[in-house]
Amino acid sequence: MPIRRLLLLGATFLASACAGGMQTTAVTPAEMDELAREVERFPHDADVLTRVGIRYYQAEAFTRARDVLTVALGLRPSFTTAVYLGLAFEGRGQFEEAETSYRVAGTLSLSTEQRQELDRRLAGLTRSRLVAEARSAIAREQELSTTPPAPNTVAVLPWAYVGANRRNQALGAGVAHLVLTDLGKLSQLTLIERERVSAILSELALVGEGAINPSTAARSGRLMRAGWVVAGIIREMGNDVRLEASVHDTRDGTVLARTTGTHSIDQLFDGEKEVVLDLLDQLGLQVSPAERQALTERSTTDLQAFLAFSDGLAAQERGDWGTAGGLFALAAGRDPAFGAARRFGEVNSLLLTSSRGSPDDLVRLANPASQASSDARSLSLLTALHVIAPSTGGDLDMRARTPVDNPRLPEALGQDNPSRIAIIGDIIIVIPRP
């Protein structure tokens, strides 16, 4: 192996290792040539390709990193390779491909820490992907306006709240969640997920804008490739709330269905169900008995828990993950049967930790040295096994040189002292008399 190559790779590794896994270090042209030669020399060696790919990634040569790591992953799936490939895709803005790489990593045998960090990265990546897709959709708005929407695809926009009670202002997010959940029970509809809706509205700067007019609703729906958009308003009037819902055709903004209902706030959940059923009737959608039965099910019957949950959703939309986590926990605490609050809380904690945006922890876990000792527990056990029960058969490949298993008789006879080898040529046994 050429000394120059060793020095080159060694120096660049030290530069990156000493500064931390995610620090970028420039690749000199000479090193770039050397890395390319490595790939040519060992085109089928997953270890070499992974090492080179990591170096490209650290130097922000994302395309080269992607190419090399893709081959490496095909040769031998490993957590390190899959994670760095995901990072390289992220570097190129290919979030969907990055997600696929992380999901490949997730299929491998992982430690709890690795899996948690991967989940965090995936949660953060989903958000990044949705934002990127929203921006892309807005950039291609002209093109999308002439493209027919996917049939039976529905987007539910956050409902606007009109009233004086600041305590109930987040109900719009909560009721939109209930509507989305109910519509999701119908097999003939495809729902746009809430996060995607949120990303589009955020990019259109429509979050918290109050009631969305038909043309805005249609526009946002087209950007989401939805055929229909459900929008709504909650008007609080004394002890009553009035729910006003409408379904818009995204092609021209026409109203396909519209309904209203007034209930006391304690009957909010009943009112939401009536609104949904009314809209479905007006749209002429066939609802099977099983689906109708499912529609009667409620996530919670505790209004205070629902208010906390709604506040949590609103906080999430503002990007306030810390507050959202506390509110979801409060909701789940008030009503332990409120599954959505618990699930949102779990996802929120991932979003909270991923909101730092840095993949440092994931990189640390995917670091080859970390992988070399990735199952450190196994190594501890293997070493322990060698020490507590040394065996020729099992330890031939894992023998530490520590003298764990010396024979005791030479010791008892004082004959294992190397300085005395010259005088033990003839054995002298002295048996002490008790």
Partner 1 sequence: MSRGLWGWALALTTLGTPLHAQFLGPGAITTGFEAQQFRFGPVFGVRSLRQWAIPIAAVVPIGRVSVDIGSYYAETTLERPDRSSLTVKGFTDTQVRGAYVLGKDAVVLTLLANLPTGAASLTAPEYAVLAAASSSFLSFPVNAYGSGASLTGGVAGALPAGSWNLGMAGSLRLSDDFTPFRDADGGFRYQAGIEARARLGADRLIGSSRFSVGLTFSTFSDDEFSSGAGATGVYRPGNRVIGEMSWAGAVGPVSVVGYVWDFLRVAGDSAGSAARNRENVFAMGTVIQVPIRRTISWTPSAEFRWSRPEEGNGFLFEFTSAFRVKATRRLSVVPAFQLNLGRLKEPDPGLGHRIRGIGFSVFLRESF
- Considering only residues 105 through 164, tell me which ones interact with partner 1, judged by CB under 8 A: 109, 113
Cα–Cα nearest to 230, from 327, 140, 153: 153
Determine the interface stretch with partner 1 among 191-199, 257-265, 317-325, 401-409 (rule: CB under 8 A).
Answer: 401-409
- What is the spatial distance between Cα 184 and Cα 299, in angstroms, rounded to a whole number? 13
- What would the x/- binding string for partner 1 be over residues 169 to 208, using CB under 8 A? ----------------------------------------
Note whether 360 binds partner 1 by CB under 8 A: no
Residue 356 DSSP label: T
State the DSSP code for 336: T
Which residue lies nearer to partner 1 by CB, 164 or 422? 422
- DSSP letters of 15-84? HHHHH-TT---PPPHHHHHHHHHHHHH-TT-HHHHHHHHHHHHHTT-HHHHHHHHHHHHHHS--HHHHHH
Can residue 240 be called a binding residue for partner 1 (CB under 8 A)?
A: no
Q: How far is the CB of 191 from partner 1 (least distance, A)?
A: 38
User: What number of other Cβ atoms are within 10 A of residue 235's Cβ?
Assistant: 15
Nearer to partner 1, 1 or 164 (CB): 1
Question: Of residues 214-233, which lie at the interface with partner 1 (CB under 8 A)?
Answer: none
Distance CA 98, CA 128 (A): 11
For the chain, how far is it from start to end, CA to CA, in angstroms? Answer: 65
Residue from 4, 14, 213, 255 touching partner 1 (CB under 8 A): that is 14
CB of 358 to partner 1, least distance (A): 16
Task: Mark the segment that binds partner 1 (CB under 8 A) among 252-260, 269-277, 297-305, 403-411.
Answer: 403-411
- With CB under 8 A, what is the number of residues at the site for partner 1? 87
386-398 exposure pattern, b = at least 16 Cβ within 10 A, e = fewer? beeeeeeeebeee
Q: Per-residue contact track with partner 1, 308 to 347, x per CB under 8 A?
A: ----------------------------------------
Q: Which stretch binds partner 1 (CB under 8 A): 97-105, 230-238, 271-279, 385-393?
A: 385-393
Told to check if 267 binds partner 1 by CB under 8 A, we report no
Q: Quick one: 44 or 343, whose CB is closer to partner 1?
A: 44
- What are 364's two structure tokens? 């640390």
Partners of 244 in beta bridges: 233, 260
Least distance (Å) between residue 110 CB and partner 1: 10
* Strand duo 190-191 + 160-162: pairing: unpaired
Segment 51 to 70, residues that bind partner 1, using CB under 8 A: 51
